[in-house]
């Protein structure tokens, strides 16, 4: 295994419109030794044809059967030759210093041996629509990026997202990579968070390094965002049976959130909590006051809708997981 080489793994499925831009940004990275491994998870569109045009500039793996992001990433891990394994998504582009910044942190900082990986910050692109800006500028959507802006230095985190992360290859292989059963059995995709949680339980740590940026080019509508929130909650419900302490202190809040919405007397408290968690928007740098106030006011009802979708998905996922386990 090359001591400096980085293997960048990109899973993709039916993303022919995005994957070209994603790969082109990876080819512009300022780092001396890396490989790009793209795993086409049996796309039904012309994703593979788009990727084949890059020739030997990338390593293309085409799966015969759709197995979900975990299976695609695991195929990439098995093919990887680097000491470090980086992940990003096919609807993301990366900054030129992305890999250099994160690998330098892992190589040169006096970190303990139990550091498993590091992530950078995730932002919407410059041409993002209002909803996308709102999603990424709400602390409850991406709290790590908000903390990174505030701290402006590396700090420990409990989760690193697979659209911007570098893992030590030896650790991720020791943890037996991503669990493919969630997608196979439930069509749920909590695999990156579950792997992080499993790694933390084994005594490892994760860090975030401000400045290593990726840009998420997803263009959500409100309907798509709520579906995504529902799927995230459902994935959490499925995972709960494997890690019963998954939600920790948040569990009572999740269990009780929907009933609270049916009591008008509780609505002011729900709104106040929404105001509290959205208030960091008002202190964000490089934004005019009108945009801050607009995002702040829109964040409160969006948080309520998102949380409701999360809880509905959570209960359905938990019910399905319990039912299938009982059937066995």
User: What is the C-alpha to C-alpha distance for residues 77 and 24, in angstroms, rounded to an integer?
Assistant: 21
pLDDT tens per residue, range 213-231: 999 988 789 999 999 889 8
From CA 41, how far away is CA 63, in angstroms rounded? Answer: 5
What's the whole-model pTM score? 0.89
- pLDDT (0 to 100) of residue 101: 93
3-state secondary structure the chain: CEEEEEEEEEEECCCHHHHHHHHHHHHCCCCCCEEEEEEECCCCCCHHHHHHCCHHHCEEEECCCCCHHHHHHHHHHHHCCEEEEEECCCCEEECCCHHHHHHHHHHHCCCCCCEEEEEEEEECCCCCCHHHHHHHCCCCCCHHHHHHHHHCCCEEECCCCCCCEEEEHHHHHHCCCCCCHHHHHHCCCCHHHHHHHHHHHCCCEEEEEEEEEEEECCCCCHHHHHHHHHHHHHHHHHHHCCCCCCCHHHHHHHHHHHHHHCCHHHHHHHHHHHHHHHHHHHHCCCCCHHHHHHHHHHHHHHHHHHHHHHHHHHHHHHHHHHHHHHHC
Domain 2-219 fold: Spore Coat Polysaccharide Biosynthesis Protein SpsA; Chain A (3.90.550)
For the cut 90, the answer to whether the pLDDT of residue 31 exceeds it is yes
CB 204 within 8 A of CB 114: yes
Q: What is the mean pLDDT of residues 291-315?
A: 87
pLDDT tens digit sequence for 107-143: 876 677 889 999 998 888 888 888 988 887 776 555 5
Residue labelled with tokens 């505030």: 150
Q: How many CA atoms lie less than 13 Å away from 319 in the CB half-sphere?
A: 6
For residue range 51-92, list pLDDT tens digits in order. Answer: 999 999 999 999 999 999 999 999 999 999 999 999 999 999
Tokens of 226: 């709520």
* For residue 286, pLDDT beyond 90: no
Per residue in 152-162, pLDDT (tens digit) is 888 888 889 89
Which residue(s) pair with 214 in the sheet? 94, 122
Average pLDDT, the chain: 86
**What is the location of CATH 3.90.550.10 in the chain?**
2-219
Lowest mean pLDDT among 2-11, 179-188, 210-219, 273-282: 273-282
Predicted local distance difference test score (pLDDT) of residue 143: 55
Instruction: At 10, give phi and psi (nearest 5°).
Output: -125, 105
Cα–Cα distance between 116 and 311 in angstroms, integer?
Answer: 31
196 contacts 158 by C-beta, under 8 angstroms: yes
**CA 234 vs CA 22, 181, 230, 316, 322: distances in Å:** 28, 14, 6, 6, 13
Bridge partners for 115 per DSSP: 205
């Amino acid at each position: 295994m090359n001591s400096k080489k980085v293997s960048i793994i990109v899973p993709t499925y039916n993303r022919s419109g995005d994957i070209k831009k994603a790969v082109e940004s990876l080819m512009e990275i300022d780092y001396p030794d890396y490989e790009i491994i793209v795993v086409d998870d049996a796309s039904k569109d012309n994703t593979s044809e788009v990727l084949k045009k890059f020739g030997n500039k990338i390593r293309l793996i085409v799966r015969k059967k759709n197995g979900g992001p975990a299976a695609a990433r695991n195929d990439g891990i098995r093919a990887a030759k680097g000491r470090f394994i980086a992940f990003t998504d096919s609807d993301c582009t990366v900054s030129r210093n992305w890999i250099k910044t994160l690998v330098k942190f892992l190589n040169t900082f006096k970190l303990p041996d139990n550091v498993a990986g590091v992530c950078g910050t995730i932002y919407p692109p410059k041409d993002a629509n209002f909803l996308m800006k709102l999603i990424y500028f709400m602390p409850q959507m991406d709290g790590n990026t908000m903390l990174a802006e505030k701290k402006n230095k590396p700090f420990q985190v409990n989760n690193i997202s697979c659209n911007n992360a570098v893992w030590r290859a030896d650790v991720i292989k020791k943890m037996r990579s991503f669990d493919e059963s969630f997608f196979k059995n439930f069509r749920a995709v909590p695999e990156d968070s579950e792997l992080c949680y499993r790694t933390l339980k084994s005594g490892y740590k994760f860090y975030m390094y401000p400045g290593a940026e990726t840009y998420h080019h997803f263009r959500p509508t409100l309907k798509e965002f709520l579906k995504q929130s529902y799927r995230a909650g459902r994935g959490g419900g499925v995972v709960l049976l494997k890690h019963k302490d998954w939600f920790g202190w948040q569990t009572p809040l999740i269990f009780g959130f929907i009933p609270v919405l049916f009591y008008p007397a509780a609505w002011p408290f729900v709104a106040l909590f929404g105001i509290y968690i959205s208030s960091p928007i008002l202190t964000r740098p490089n934004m005019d006051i009108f945009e801050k106030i607009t995002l702040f006011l829109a964040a409160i009802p969006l948080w309520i809708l998102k949380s409701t979708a999360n809880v509905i998905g959570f209960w359905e996922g938990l019910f399905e997981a319990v039912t299938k386990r009982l059937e066995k």
